[in-house]
A and B are shown apart, each in its own frame.
Chain A
Amino acid sequence: MTATLYSGARRYGEETVDVLVDGETIAAIGEPGTLDVPADAERIDATGLVLLPGLVDLHTHLRQPGFESSETVLTGTRAAARGGFTTVFAMANTQPVQDTAGVVEAVEALGREAGYADVQPIGAVTVGLEGERLSELGAMASSRARVRVFSDDGKCVFDPLIMRRALEYVKTFGGVVAQHAQDPRLTEGAQMNEGALSAELGLGGWPGVAETSIIARDVLLAEHVSSRLHVCHVSKRESVEIVRWAKDRGIDVTAEVAPHHLILTEELVRGFDARFKVNPPLRTADDVEALRDALADGTIDIVATDHAPHPVDAKETEWDRAAMGMVGLESALRIVDTTMVAPVRLTWRDVARVLSETPARIGSADWAGRPLDAGEPADLVFYEPGDTREFTTDDLSGKSINSPFLGRELPGRVVHTVHRGTPTLRDGVLADPRAVAEAARFRTARSEDVRGA
């Protein structure tokens, strides 16, 4: 594999650099024209593009095994590459559920073979996501998949004793429980945010207190057992306040916000277009503002996509029959750009933190979210801010098209994604799957456990 020089990019959106990628690593990075570049190196003009470490998504639904009509590990990681992601954490609600070492190893292997991104499986907290018995957390942790994040996402670990035990148990191997905070009793029949609009439309309301009450309970449990808690897809102002209180108190809690909760509001439900049906639901403009504030001030640690693919027929139907969830990998960076960077709420340095470094740290993915320095893994994304254009199905690279942003004007463009030195997206075009898989095979052969290297 020849070396590649990406010239003229802006590291973290700041100083202009040339980056020389050789093999799987950044061979050199520095002022333009100062690097020692091999004569046969390929040269790619990246002038003016924002250079960030490859993005890391702590919350992706890849649907395989079991729901391959919605997404597969291959198609999901292609979507990831399209959005600038080089590592994705695959949620456990597959069929069979990712609650054994065998299943998580299979998912990890599928990701390794596909080659578009590192796939880090998330283990189910409870057997079958049923909330009753702990899964074999230790077996998953010590498996080849090295699971460190455990979640029943899609379902809340509702039983307080099971939650306590999970928080205690995962300390054995430095794990974290990622909670889908939703009181199931308070959200029976819920179809949208509970409030004035749900009252008008006559749709079952999903009250904010169903989220806040679980977060409040869980931070107290985490404090009690001195463990780590991660709160998935925070959606309410009051939830932010609880997380802020917990952090002030010194509780080891982290939180994520989904891109769609940074921009979309419940008003979109009026059209009964089920692309906007998601769990937790779209909330009010006031909640959106609170979430942006919290991401800006660090109360919310990261952005995670909650990429949730569904086939067309699961969405093109009556609102209350439609599946919950929306795809988000391909649009995440552009949404963060328009909601946080353009209004100068976050710098590109901050974006590297919330979309790469901190999610990697929370998930103990020590190979990801690394500094943009020589000797580091060449997981890179080159982003072109600016020009606004319509988001269309051409922007989607997964198997499903249930994006809430279709037809919307969005700024920016992910131009290149590099995963372990291999270009997975070049000039906005996905790399050939055979070439990507070939590069992945070469890597695997050279280093049996690349992530452990």
Chain B
Amino acid sequence: MKHLLSTKELSRDDALLLLDTAEDMARVDQQEVRRLPALRGITVVNLFYEDSTRTRISFEAAEKRLSADVINFAAKGSSVSKGESLKDTAQTLRAIGADAVVIRHPSTGAPQLLAERGWINTPILNAGDGMHEHPTQALLDAFTMRRRLHGVDGARGRDLDGVHVVIVGDILHSRVARSNVWLLTTLGARVTLVAPPTLLPADTSVWPAAITHDLDAALADAPDAVMLLRIQTERMHDAYFPNPREYARLWGLGEERFRALPGRTMVMHPGPMNRGLEIASVAADSPQSTVLEQVANGVSVRMAALYLLCSGPREGDER
């Protein structure tokens, strides 16, 4: 792997390598000194064009645990807000000697542009681009599922063959849903997407997922995991559904629906959550909830991605 741009292009072997490497990284968390020297002398730039405290902190923690030098670049208040183009920013990063770039960008395809245009010659990690992909989120979700299903000691080398995952909510605007659809099915899982028709893409005919508008029918299949997606407030004002109350009634994991789930069904959410809208507190705070594990596992997965992309020799590296 030269970059990590999407899960669509990720092979099963590469996905398992990332997950297994993340298992190794998770062990560091148990050590007295929670730090590896793997990326000593490597400068990683976190290039965040979009506010994202959780993802940025997660990447920063991963970078520091690998002993990388970290530069945080937030678009707000920077040269970007003064009109600097992505190309110019990339060339600036190249000039200051960045060895890897983690990019979060509101525009679909921005990480791919950085990776392919020759403006900068470093590994690019996509930390979320527009409505397109969020590969490390999907990897941490898969990692979390694998550990829950097979235990911390039994997860290594395992895929998600036969696992049924129901993803509920704003699929249309969700990069998390897209990355999960590709990755989970690559790993052998069966995915069902549940949403009102207004929050589904116009044509999902080639997606390897079942589509339904009926959450109760999807949950009646006793899935191994239910993943709720955040409903952003602007959707409520833009005719995607009549009002929050109706959304919660039809597509929310309320208490009644949660109680009807088997005890083994994981309740997942990429956060931050709208309690009482897409998820009831009783579900979010239950032992079935993986929300905090997902956050913790995110650091291990991002350490694995950074390690695999940055630790080997790089093409065109003349330094």
Contact = CB atoms under 8 A, between A and B. Distances in A.
Interface in A269-320: 271-272, 313, 316-320
A318 B202 contact: no
B72 interface: no
Contacts of B70: none
A317 B83 CA distance: 12
B202 A198 contact: yes
Nearest to A320: B107
Contact of B108 (A194, A313, A316, A320): A320
B132 A199 contact: no
Interface stretch (A29-37, A148-156, A202-210): A202-210
Nearest to A321: B107
Interface in A178-198: 191, 194-196, 198
A202 B202 contact: no
Contacts of B132: 201-203
A195 B202 contact: yes
B203 A196 contact: yes
Interface size class on chain B is 20 to 34
A191 B108 CA distance: 10
Nearest to B107: A318
B8 to A, nearest CB: 7
Interface in B45-96: 85-87
A449 interface: no
Contacts of A191: 108
B202 A203 contact: no
A448 interface: no
B87 A202 contact: no
A114 B87 CA distance: 36
Contact of A199 (B86, B105, B112, B207): B207
B86 A203 contact: no
Contact of B202 (A207, A316, A319): A207
Contact of B205 (A196, A198, A321): A196
A394 interface: no
A200 interface: yes
Contacts of B130: 202-203, 320
Contacts of A320: 106-108, 130
A318 B201 contact: no
Contacts of B86: 317-318
B116 A318 contact: no
Contacts of A316: 85, 87, 117
Contacts of A205: 201-202
B178 A318 contact: no
A272 B178 CA distance: 18
B48 to A, nearest CB: 15
B206 A200 contact: yes
A196 B109 contact: no
A202 B107 contact: no
B107 A319 contact: yes
Interface in B122-175: 130-133, 173, 175
B222 interface: no
Contacts of A201: 108-109, 132
Most B C-beta atoms less than 10 A away, residue of A271, A318, A319: A318
Given A317-B85, A318-B86, A272 B201 contact: no
A213 to B, nearest CB: 15
A320 B105 CA distance: 11
A200 B108 CA distance: 11
A195 B130 CA distance: 17
Contacts of B112: 271-272
A198 B201 contact: yes
A317 B90 CA distance: 11
B174 to A, nearest CB: 8
Contacts of A202: 108, 130-133, 173, 175, 178
B233 interface: no
Nearest to B131: A202
B109 A318 contact: yes
B204 interface: yes
Contacts of A272: 108-110, 112-113
A23 B204 CA distance: 62
B134 to A, nearest CB: 10
Interface in A230-274: 271-272
A233 to B, nearest CB: 21
A266 to B, nearest CB: 12
Contact of B206 (A196, A313, A317, A319): A196
Pairs A-B, 3 closest by C-beta atoms: A202-B131, A199-B201, A272-B109
16 contacts: A191-B108, A196-B203, A201-B109, A202-B175, A203-B130, A203-B132, A205-B202, A271-B116, A272-B108, A272-B113, A317-B87, A318-B107, A318-B113, A319-B109, A320-B106, A320-B107
Given A195-B202, A202-B173, 13 more contacts: A191-B108, A194-B202, A196-B203, A196-B204, A196-B206, A199-B204, A202-B108, A202-B132, A203-B109, A272-B108, A316-B85, A316-B87, A319-B108
